[in-house]
Amino acid sequence: MTKLSSLLSGIIFGLGLTISGMVNPQKVLGFLNIFGDWDPSLMFVMVGAIIIFSPLHFTFKRKSRPFFAQSFIIPSKKDIDKSLILGAILFGIGWGLVGLCPGPAISAISFLNINVYIFVLFMFIGFYLGNLLLLKK
Amino acid sequence: MNIINFTPYSALTGGLLIGFAAFIFFIFNGRLSGVSSIASDSIIKNENRYDNILFLFGLIIGPILYSLSGNKVESVLTNSLPLIIVAGLLVGFGTKIGNGCTSGHGVCGISRFSIRSIIATISFILTGVVTVLIFGI
């Protein structure tokens, strides 16, 4: 059953990314271009997602367990470490270079653009290298 | 600063859908929908592997459904191969060691009031802004 809800959730997530325009790297770069011609849309996307998810998930978590799983899986780490900051900075540079982050990159696979495939391939190589580094620690 | 191409309504609508998708994944699977984690966990053996793959599959179907219902989807990505490769590596590696991306930290983390996620989100947005400032759109 978790497979069905995963697929459904992915589809709605993908629709949201598409309707909001976030599958367009040019629009994302427009948001990051604060000192030039600025497109604030991405901020509205985040706010929209947070105002739905935040209250609903808190309410649900207090009252219930997940329907198809034993318990909630929520990160327990609290400390602000070097790898969090360094990771966010490196991600921010990559994001600013072409305007793709993981969600929209995966959704953009549907546009049959070879450059998207190359990006996704190297993103997965990046995951793999990051994983190697984390395992070493 | 000039504001251009701003689409507040579609951005907010898409954002609400993303928040709703995250809520579905949370109440059924008990998990947070951070796409970088879902994607990077889809290439290694773990109990949620097929859930992850189906979620990603849903992300790809989302834009297809949207265009099949007669809507036009715009997506413009740079043609520069070196930029795409470097950005892909940075996005993959950075989100892996930083434990999250725009969805994991930016949406789910901020919704949970996680300090780590708030700091990560500020860091990658600032770095993205500086990157666009230096390299242009």
State the pLDDT at residue B42: 95
Look up the ipTM and state it: 0.97
Q: Mutual orientation of helices A2-19 and B49-68 as an angle, nearest 10°?
A: 40
B40 domain residue, yes or no: yes
Domain count, chain B: 1
Nearest to A106 by CA among B79, B68, B58: B58
Q: Compute how many other C-beta atoms are within 10 angstroms of the C-beta atom of residue B40.
A: 22
Domain boundaries, chain A: 2-72+79-136
Q: CB-CB: which of A32, A35, A49 is closest to B1? A: A35
Nearest to A22 by CA among A83, A105, A98: A105
For residue A75, the distance in angstroms to the closest alpha carbon of chain B comes to: 9
State the pLDDT at residue A71: 94
> Which of B93, B108, B127, B129 is best to mutate for the A interface (most A CBs within 10 A)?
B93
State the pLDDT at residue B131: 98
A84 pLDDT higher than 80: yes
State the pLDDT at residue A63: 85
Round to whole Å and give the CA distance between B37 and B6.
30
Q: Mutual orientation of helices B8-29 and A2-19 as an angle, nearest 10°?
A: 170
Round to whole Å and give the CA distance between B39 and B54.
10
State the pLDDT at residue A64: 87
Q: What is the pLDDT of residues A11-69, one digit of tens each?
A: 999 999 999 999 999 999 999 999 999 999 999 999 999 999 999 999 999 988 999 99
Residue numbers of the domain that contains B127: 8-135
* Any B CB within 8 A of A44 CB: yes
Q: Which chain B residues are Cβ-neighbours of A90 within 8 angstroms?
A: 90, 93-94, 97-98
Contact at CB, B98 and A133, closer than 8 angstroms: no
B1 domain residue, yes or no: no
B2 domain residue, yes or no: no
Q: Which chain A residues are Cβ-neighbours of B99 within 8 angstroms?
A: 75, 77, 83-84, 87
Q: CB-CB: which of A12, A23, A115 is closest to B24? A: A12
User: Taking residues A112-123, what's their average pLDDT?
Assistant: 98
* Any B CB within 8 A of A59 CB: no
User: What parts of chain B have a pLDDT lower than 70?
Assistant: none
Contact at CB, A88 and B94, closer than 8 angstroms: yes
Burial of residue A88 (number of CB atoms within 10 Å: 0-12, 13-18, 19+): buried
For residue B68, the distance in angstroms to the closest alpha carbon of chain A comes to: 12
B120 domain residue, yes or no: yes
Q: CB-CB: which of B14, B93, B111 is closest to A16? A: B14
Nearest CA in chain A to B35: A103
Per cent of chain A over pLDDT 90 is 93
Using alpha carbons, list the distances in angstroms from residue A51 to A56, B18, B90, B111: 9, 11, 30, 8
Q: CB-CB: which of A25, A60, A61 is closest to B75? A: A25
B90 domain residue, yes or no: yes
For residue A59, the distance in angstroms to the closest alpha carbon of chain B comes to: 11
Specify the amino acid at residue A128. Y
pTM, entire model: 0.97
